[in-house]
Amino acid sequence: MTFIEKVEQLCKDCDNFIEKAKKDAKSMPPEVGYDHVYDTTAWCNENLKSTLLYMLTKGDE
C-alpha cells in the first residue's frame, strides 16, 4: 500500500466513524447526540493528524 493509499484509507475510516456516530446520535437526546458526534469528529481529526505526523517523521512501514 502506498503512502497516498494509506492516507486515503485513514480518511475513509474517519468518515465511517463519523457517519456511525451520526446514526448512533439519532437514538440519543439532542444535546448528548451532538456532543457524541462532535467528540467523535474531534477524536478522528486528532488521530488522523497524529498518525500522519508519525508516518511523515518515522516512516510509513
Q: What does the pLDDT look like over 3-44, one tens digit per residue?
A: 889 889 999 999 999 999 999 999 999 999 999 999 999 999
* pLDDT computed for residue 60 by the predictor: 54
In angstroms, the CA 42 to CA 27 distance is 21
Q: How would DSSP label each residue in the chain? A: --HHHHHHHHHHHHHHHHHHHHHHHTTS-HHHHHHHHHHHHHHHHHHHHHHHHHHHHH---
- Residue 10: which residues within 8 A CB-CB, separation 6 or more? 48, 51, 52
Q: What is the predicted pLDDT for the residue at 61?
A: 54
Query: How many CA atoms does the CB half-sphere of 42 hold within 13 Å?
Result: 6
pLDDT at 2: 86
- pLDDT of the residue at 13: 94
